[in-house]
């Protein structure tokens, strides 16, 4: 037995892209169950008095990030294209992500949204882009859209974002095992190892 791991991500988050692409296979290799937890970084940035991504607020940091992400993707064998708009509006994708988690297709949906954003240069807030992804996964886009936009699902995303804040999450990707927090794609393997060891110690 292993402890479950919660994977927290925003679809607009740069470093969440390689983490999401690796997560399913990496977790399976460790025997760890993953809960896919989309949330929104925007409210967290506002709480820190940022009205934009810190990578835009601090251009030198942003320039480094783009080059770093390019290197990471190259080393992992993932395509990469800098989005024309950054950060993208990830609200609707996150709402659909909750439905995907309910229905068991979160890993595939999440990967395809990140591919659209950081490999194909698509607008992930566009209904046509999201519908195309859902069709690839043999899902009815209009039925999923209706569930995603239901008032109760909108409230769920707000609650999930509030939960992230309560856990001390300040960026994405983040990983939690119980109340143990790991931040950054470079802590992904450590978080999975921790989940594996925590389960073994029980």
pLDDT of residue 201: 46
- Could you tell me the pLDDT band of residue 200, with boundaries at 50, 70 and 90? very low
More confident residue, 52 or 84: 84
The residue to which tokens 């925007």 are assigned: 42
The predicted pLDDT at position 43 comes to: 87
pLDDT, one tens digit per residue, over 62-92 is: 899 999 999 999 999 999 999 998 999 999 9
Which residues contact residue 170 at a Cβ distance below 8 angstroms, ignoring those fewer than 6 apart? Answer: 44, 48, 183
Say what the pLDDT of residue 144 is: 99
> What angle is formed at CA 32 by the lines to CA 31 and CA 33, rounded to 5 degrees?
125
What pLDDT, on a 0 to 100 scale, did the predictor assign at position 49?
A: 64
Contact 81, 121 (CB under 8 A): yes
Q: pLDDT > 90: what percent of the chain?
A: 86
Q: How far apart are CA 159 and CA 161, in angstroms?
A: 5
Is 197 a member of any domain? no
Q: Which pTM value belongs to this model?
A: 0.93
Is 198 inside a domain boundary? Answer: no
Strand order, beta sheet including 34-38: 34-38, 5-9, 174-177, 180-183
Number of domains into which the chain is organized: 1
Domain contains 59? yes
Residue 199 resides in a domain: no
User: Is residue 127 one of the residues assigned to a domain?
Assistant: yes
Strand positions, DSSP E, the chain: 5-9, 34-38, 174-177, 180-183
**CATH number of the domain where residue 184 is located:** 3.40.30.10
């Amino acid at each position: 037995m292993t402890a479950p791991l919660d994977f927290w991500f925003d679809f607009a988050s740069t470093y969440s892209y390689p983490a999401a692409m690796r997560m399913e296979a990496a977790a399976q290799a460790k025997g760890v169950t993953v809960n896919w937890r989309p949330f929104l970084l925007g409210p967290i940035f506002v709480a820190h008095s940022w009205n934009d991504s810190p990578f835009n607020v601090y251009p030198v940091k942003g320039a480094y990030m783009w080059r770093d992400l390019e290197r990471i993707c190259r080393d992992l064998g993932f395509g990469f294209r800098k989005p024309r708009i950054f950060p993208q509006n990830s609200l609707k994708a996150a709402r659909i992500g909750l439905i995907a988690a309910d229905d068991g297709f979160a890993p595939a949906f999440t990967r395809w949204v990140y591919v659209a954003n950081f490999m194909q240069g698509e607008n992930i807030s566009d209904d046509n882009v999201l519908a195309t992804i859902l069709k690839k996964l043999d899902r009815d886009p209009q039925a999923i859209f209706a569930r995603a936009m239901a008032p109760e699902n909108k409230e769920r995303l707000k609650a999930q974002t509030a939960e992230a804040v309560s856990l001390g999450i300040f960026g994405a990707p983040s990983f939690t095992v119980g109340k143990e927090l790991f931040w950054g794609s470079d802590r992904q393997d450590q978080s999975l190892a921790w989940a594996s060891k925590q389960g073994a110690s029980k």
